[in-house]
């Protein structure tokens, strides 16, 4: 998928004022440095997820449930606003008449309802495994291994939809295997606890890839925030069920516990995702991809400063190799040389 750079030209539909010209200079378009700073802030917010999971009063799965649940009202509000705006646009700037369905609000079919629930379950599995992995491995490794989605998406699309796998993907895939060997095998010394966390983080990437495949068609047929609100609700419900089955506490007992959950939702779910989605529209996709890969680096800093998680030179070497392979694979899958 390619992202075009949004023009800073004025709205062609705007009617110019016939009065005397405004002596004040026109607003200057924001610089690339502004949007790069926005992406960096988004990365730092997204990387805070593991920090809040570790300090949460309740279990990691229940924490993930609240993160998803708190996102639902925001997504529903965005969906309503976008629907109203689309309705006005479709009617030439007028609001839709009473009883008239807004644009892009097609009736959800029974098959798509099943896909929404399935996508919510895959997202719940992704969130549960990722949050649990933070308890066994470093924040940096958990963030990095969950980013191996490009190497899982391509085979999934081939087996499910017969999409051609770019043969050039073989080279970054081999490089990624080398990075995994360095990081997981050589770097951990086959410590069982550490390996458990790394395996859980790898499974996170698998379930997130399945989530993306399931929602691909849904997001083409329905407005994205509408679908994500329903998916997030299904994800939260599934996470609460799993948390209860695991015997986790489902209700924070102090104000601090609630503040941690709210901070998690605001930073990782709202600020991180929103800033990232906005800023990447104004940056070259290659540059945005590089910044996104800084999330494991930010997580490594948080882990070292807050929890004393030190990485050996072997682990750092494995992380570097994996970052290169992921960036290489992203470029190939997005159709660039």
308: left (phi over 0), alpha (psi -120 to 50) or beta: left
Ordered per-residue pLDDT tens for the chain, 337 residues = 333 333 333 333 333 334 444 554 444 456 778 888 888 898 899 899 999 999 999 999 999 999 999 988 888 888 788 777 766 665 655 554 444 444 445 677 888 889 889 999 999 999 999 999 999 999 999 999 998 888 888 888 888 777 777 788 889 989 999 998 898 888 877 788 889 999 999 999 999 999 988 887 787 777 777 788 888 899 999 999 999 999 999 999 999 999 999 999 888 877 887 787 777 777 776 677 777 788 898 999 999 999 999 889 999 999 999 999 988 888 777 665 4
| Sign of the torsion angle spanned by Cα atoms 311, 316, 317, 318 | positive
DSSP per-residue string spanning 172-209 = HHHHHHHHHIIIIIITTTT-HHHHHHHHHHHHHHHHHH
pLDDT attached to residue 201: 94
Short-list 282, 260, 272, CA closest to 74: 272
User: What six digits make up the tokens of 138?
Assistant: 């470093």
């Amino acid at each position: 998928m390619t992202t075009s750079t949004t023009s800073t030209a004025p709205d062609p539909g705007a009617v110019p004022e016939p009065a005397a010209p405004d002596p004040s200079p026109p607003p200057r378009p924001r610089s690339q440095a502004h949007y790069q700073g926005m992406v960096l802030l988004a990365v730092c917010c997204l990387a805070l997820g593991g920090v809040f999971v570790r300090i949460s009063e309740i279990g990691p799965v229940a924490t993930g449930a609240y993160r998803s649940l708190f996102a639902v009202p925001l997504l529903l509000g965005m969906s309503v606003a976008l629907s109203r705006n689309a309705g006005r646009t479709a009617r030439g700037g007028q609001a839709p008449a009473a009883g008239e369905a807004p644009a892009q609000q097609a009736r959800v079919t029974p098959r798509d309802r099943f896909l929404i629930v399935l996508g919510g379950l895959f997202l719940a599995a992704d969130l549960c495994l990722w949050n649990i992995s933070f308890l066994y491995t470093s924040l940096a490794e958990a963030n990095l291994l969950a980013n191996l989605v490009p190497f899982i998406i391509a085979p999934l699309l081939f087996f499910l939809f017969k999409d051609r796998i770019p043969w050039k993907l073989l080279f970054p895939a081999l490089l990624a295997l080398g990075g995994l060997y360095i990081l997981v095998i050589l770097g951990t010394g086959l410590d069982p606890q550490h390996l458990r966390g790394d395996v859980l983080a790898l499974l996170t990437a698998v379930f997130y890839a399945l989530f993306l495949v399931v929602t691909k068609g849904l997001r083409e047929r329905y407005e994205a925030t509408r679908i994500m609100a329903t998916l997030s609700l299904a994800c939260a419900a599934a996470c609460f069920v799993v948390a209860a089955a695991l015997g986790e506490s489902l209700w924070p007992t102090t104000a601090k516990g609630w503040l941690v959950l709210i901070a998690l939702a605001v930073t990782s779910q709202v600020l991180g995702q929103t800033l990232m989605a906005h800023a990447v529209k104004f940056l070259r996709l290659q540059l945005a991809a590089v910044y996104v890969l800084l999330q494991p680096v930010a997580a490594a800093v948080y882990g070292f400063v807050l929890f004393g998680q030190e990485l050996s030179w072997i682990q750092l070497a494995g992380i570097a190799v994996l970052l290169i392979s992921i960036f290489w694979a992203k470029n190939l899958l997005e159709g660039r040389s």
